[in-house]
């Protein structure tokens, strides 16, 4: 089984890793850099994920979301609907001149959380993620 992660080329201040699309889009929106059409698309995508994806409580070794060494979210490669929606999210960010990478791994790290569609993993030191 493989895993897919979407990230921008900005460093997340909490994890120290490449920032995910949800956080990047929120920063752009909060900065007032989205037009009305982009804001509507962003809200539609957020609503879809709110309805179709669990929000993991655990992102670190403990239950604290703000500790150093946070895990990264990955989609299972079988989560085709979710990956398709993330590609829409990526296109939204690209329309705002943000570079988005689609990353693949067979071993995303030490699993901290998992469900049918996603995992949160603390990256292995040799992973490069």
- Over its length of 129 residues, how does the chain's per-residue pLDDT go in tens digits? 899 999 999 998 877 889 999 999 999 999 999 999 999 999 999 999 999 999 987 666 554 444 445 889 999 999 999 999 999 999 999 999 999 999 999 999 999 999 999 999 998 877 766
DSSP SS3 for 102 = strand
| Alpha-carbon span 86 to 61, nearest angstrom | 26
User: Taking the model in full, what pTM does it have?
Assistant: 0.89
| Inter-residue contact 82 to 52 (CB < 8 Å) | yes
């Amino acid at each position: 089984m493989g895993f897919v992660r979407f990230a921008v080329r900005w460093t997340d201040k909490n994890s120290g890793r490449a920032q995910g699309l949800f956080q990047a889009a929120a920063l752009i929106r909060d900065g007032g850099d989205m037009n009305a059409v982009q804001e509507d698309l962003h809200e539609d995508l957020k609503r879809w994920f709110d309805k179709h994806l669990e929000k993991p409580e655990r992102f670190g070794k403990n239950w604290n979301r703000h500790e150093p060494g946070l895990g990264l979210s990955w989609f299972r490669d079988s989560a085709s609907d979710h990956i398709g929606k993330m590609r829409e999210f990526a296109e939204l960010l690209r329309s705002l001149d943000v570079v988005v990478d689609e990353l693949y791994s067979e071993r995303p790290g030490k699993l901290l959380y998992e469900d049918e569609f996603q995992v949160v993993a603390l990256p292995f030191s040799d992973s490069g993620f």
